[in-house]
Amino acid sequence: MLNLSGVDDVIYRTIVMMLNPNLIKVETMMTGSMEYRKSLLDRACQYVQANQDRTITLSELERVSGMSERNLQYAFKQRFQCSPMQWIRLQRLATARERLLNAVAGTTITAVSLLCGFNKASTFAYYYKLRFNELPSITLARSLLR
């Protein structure tokens, strides 16, 4: 439960900032232009797309983008109307749906969920149904019938 809440990530980030604040880039020291901020957010989004199969933490997004946690939260909210972690989940679900819709014989829900960064098939199925209003097994079955 603690691992899912992200509390450990916040603790690590706080300790790093106290011990070596130079490791965390402060966006306010950089140019404040909207275009620059957009490019930083684009960098974070590209990183997520390239690493969908593994766990991504907010600290990683901070490091990759050069933005603080707060600025990342604001930027994602402004551009996508959700938090960074919600956006990551939505991207993974979209990828999973694409894989299920284009499935070949032998494709399993578990394999697709793992390839899309979900550690548990049941969690994947829950979010998939919430997002697409059907179980992933239904999508897969329909796809294999074609």
Same-domain status, 50 and 116? no
Count Cβ atoms within 10 A of the Cβ of residue 96 and give its class: 0-12 exposed, 13-18 middle, 19 or more buried: buried
Q: Is 6 exposed, middle or buried (0-12, 13-18, 19+ CB in 10 A)?
A: middle
Q: How many structural domains comprise the chain?
A: 2
For residues 105 and 146, the model is more confident at 105
Q: How many residues does the chain have?
A: 146
Helix (H) or strand (E) holding 60: helix 58-65
Same domain, 76 and 102: no
In this prediction the pTM is 0.75
Residue pLDDT, tens place only, 20-71:
766 655 544 444 567 888 889 999 999 999 999 999 999 999 999 999 999 9
Q: Which residue range forms the structural domain that includes residue 17?
A: 2-81
